[in-house]
Amino acid sequence: DDRLRAEAIAILRENDLGAYTIPTKGLYPFQWNWDSCLVALGLARIDEDRAFREIETLFAHQWEDGFVPHIVFHADAQSYFPGPDVWDTRRATPTSGITQPPVAGFCLRRLYETASDREAAAARTKALLPRIAAWHRWFHATRDPEATGLVAILHPWESGRDNSMDWDEALARVSPEGVGEYVRRDTSHVDAAQRPTKAEYDRYLRLVQIFRGLGWDHGALHEASPFKVVDPGFNAILIRSAEDLAALAEALDEPAIAEEAARHAAAGRAALEGLWHEGLGQYACFDRAAGALVESASIGGLLPLFALEPGHARAAVLAKRIETVCARARHPVPSHDPADPRFDRLRYWRGPLWLVANRMILDGLARHGHVDAATAIARDGLALVARRGFAEYFDPLDGRPLGGGRFSWTAAMVLEFLD
Ligand code: DGY
């Protein structure tokens, strides 16, 4: 354990650029939104001040409309594509124009509650509350224009689960025509068999081009986008962050923020029921452009355990479903059900396991009383990293390390799982 802890700390230090942490060298040389917030959980074990700084840096690049970008391009780097010129968002410090899973509220609550310097933590948390509230408000205004209670993602990259089967049909409807020539960089760092395909990349870029053509006017994108999917995982994260934001605002005497966040969480929870897929026995995505639930048993449909109220009738069913899916792999939790013929043990979010997803699943299990199952997931993650290194993701059938190496969020999760 000491060796693992020391190595995790060394990785966080080598990826620390002072005010933000890169996910890994080469493949991801800038600040990523959800990476940063989750990495802050690890940084908090080393340096509380630095942990708050990580989230503060991200929110220093929040747009005036409340939007928080998925990448902040703090410095030049040629090793990543698509870079700032492709996004063309015209910010003083360039950023992307799409967002990522809003884990900030969840992570900030954890920083605040575990901090030993109570006074500093209270002041810095309180300063971030209106920023997170503005981001959540942005989601509801621009991604749920009909006030259904659930928000849509407009790009697979927003989900954080880039190439999940969840997006296959919706993405197939995006025409790649006119995308032009481009050179990927990801496949020069990582084996192409572990990354999304060229057909997917064409469409990822086509969506960026469509949004760029609209001048990144976020109010106009939902209507215009050919891709809009309501992801139960993404919404669970937003609901949980709203719940945690409400708790923080309550504790720090910000009643208006607390009231609004509690309202968002309640509306989201009520609407989540509409994503229950009886045939799959779990939650599923709703393709808002097609008006139908998506037949795809991904980990996104398991994540609501992280947001359901304790005692909720679906919680026990979902815990059981997680057990079933995990029993089909050697290591928990595969990002897609191995029983699905499309399962691909190597390819990014089409099968491999990710410790950050496991972090949320085990929190959900513990929240609903399944403490042993939660502990087993943490233990397996630690054993995997001890034997195979701090990989970006792992083959759930044999534990093989996949994707980038010396990965910041894997290091942060190891520090989380160690206690
Ligand atoms: C990538 O480039 O692979 C990212 O997931 C997009 O942010």
**pLDDT value at residue 398:** 98
Predicted local confidence at residue 162, as pLDDT: 98
Q: How far apart are CA 245 and CA 256, in angstroms?
A: 11
Distance 362 CA to ligand 1 centre (A): 25
User: Containing domain of residue 233, as a range?
Assistant: 108-418
CA of 159 to the centre of ligand 1 (A): 10
Of ligand 1's listed atoms, the one at least distance from the Cα of 204 is 6
d(C-alpha 361, C-alpha 394), whole Å: 16
Token pair listed for 418? 């160690």
Report the catalytic residues: 162, 392
What's the pTM? 0.98
> What are the start-end ranges of the H helices in 88-155?
104-114, 118-143
- The alpha carbon dihedral of 100, 400, 408, 25 has a sign of negative
Does some domain include residue 95?
Answer: no
For residue 203, the CA-to-ligand 1 centroid distance in Å is: 13
What are the Cα distances from residue 288, in Å, to 151, 157, 354?
10, 17, 27
d(C-alpha 353, C-alpha 393), whole Å: 6
Question: Ligand 1 atom closest to Cα of 80?
Answer: 2
CA distance 403 to 224: 33
Expressed in angstroms and rounded, the spacing between residue 28 Cα and the centre of ligand 1 is 8
Instruction: Give residue 223's pLDDT.
Output: 98
Of ligand 1's atoms, which has the minimum distance to the CA of residue 96? 7
Cβ(157) to ligand 1 under 6 A?
Answer: yes
In degrees, to the nearest 5, what angle opens at C-alpha 288 toward C-alphas 235 and 271?
A: 40
Instruction: Output the six-digit token pair for 159.
Output: 């989900």
- Substitution candidate for ligand 1 out of 24, 27, 28, 200 with most atoms within 8 A of CB: 28
| Structure tokens given for 239 | 């609901």
Does 343 sit in the ligand 1 pocket, CB within 6 Å?
A: no
Residue 60 lies in a domain: no
State which residues of the chain have pLDDT below 70: none
- For residue 35, being part of any structural domain is answered with no
* CA 61 to each of CA 54, 95, 355: distance values in angstroms, whole numbers, following the listed order: 12, 8, 27
- The answer to whether position 304 is within a domain reads yes
Measured by CA distance, the residue closest to atom 6 of ligand 1 is 157
CB-CB neighbours of 162 under 10 Å: 18
Does ligand 1 lie within 6 Å of residue 254's CB atom? no
Q: Domain with 288 in it: what CATH number?
A: 1.50.10.10
Quick one: tokens of 55?
């989230």
Atom of ligand 1 nearest to the CA of 71: 7
In a domain, 91, yes or no: no
Best probe residue, ligand 1, of 81, 86, 99, 157 (max atoms within 8 Å of C-beta):
157
Query: Which pLDDT value is given to residue 104?
Result: 99
Centre of ligand 1 to C-alpha 157, Å, is 6
Cis peptide before 226 (omega within 30 of 0): no
Give the pLDDT score at 419.
81
CB of 158 shorter than 6 A to ligand 1: no
- Do 3 and 387 form a contact (C-beta atoms < 8 A)? no
Is residue 70 within 6 Å of ligand 1 at its C-beta?
Answer: yes
| Tens digits of residue pLDDT in 190-208 | 999 999 999 999 999 999 9
**Is there an atom of ligand 1 within 6 Å of 144 CB?**
no
Q: What is the spatial distance between Cα 142 and Cα 63, in angstroms, rounded to a whole number?
A: 14
Mutational test site, ligand 1, from 162, 201, 203, 407, max ligand atoms within 8 Å of CB: 162
* 208 domain-assigned: yes
Residue 8, domain member (yes or no): no
Residue 339 domain flag:
yes
Q: Which residues of 183-219 are buried (b: 16+ CB within 10 A; e: fewer)?
A: eebbbebbeeebbbeeebbbbbbbbbebbeeeebebe
| Sequence-ordered list of residues with C-beta below 8 angstroms from that of 310, at least 6 positions apart, any chain | 367, 368, 369
Q: What residue owns the CA closest to ligand 1's atom 7?
A: 157
Number of domains, the chain: 1
Instruction: Name, in order, each residue with C-beta under 8 angstroms of 414's C-beta and a sequence gap of 6 or more.
Output: 4, 5, 8, 42, 355, 381, 382, 385, 390
Measured in Å, residue 347 CA sits from the centre of ligand 1 at 14
User: 72 in helix, strand or coil?
Assistant: strand
- In short, whether 200's Cβ falls inside 6 Å of ligand 1 is no
Burial class (CB in 10 A: 0-12, 13-18, 19+), 164: buried
- CA angle 338/344/346 to nearest 5° reads 120
Peptide bond into 385 cis (omega under 30): no
As given in the structure block, the two tokens for residue 28 are 């991801």
Calculate how far, in angstroms, residue 299's C-alpha sits from the geometric centre of ligand 1: 18
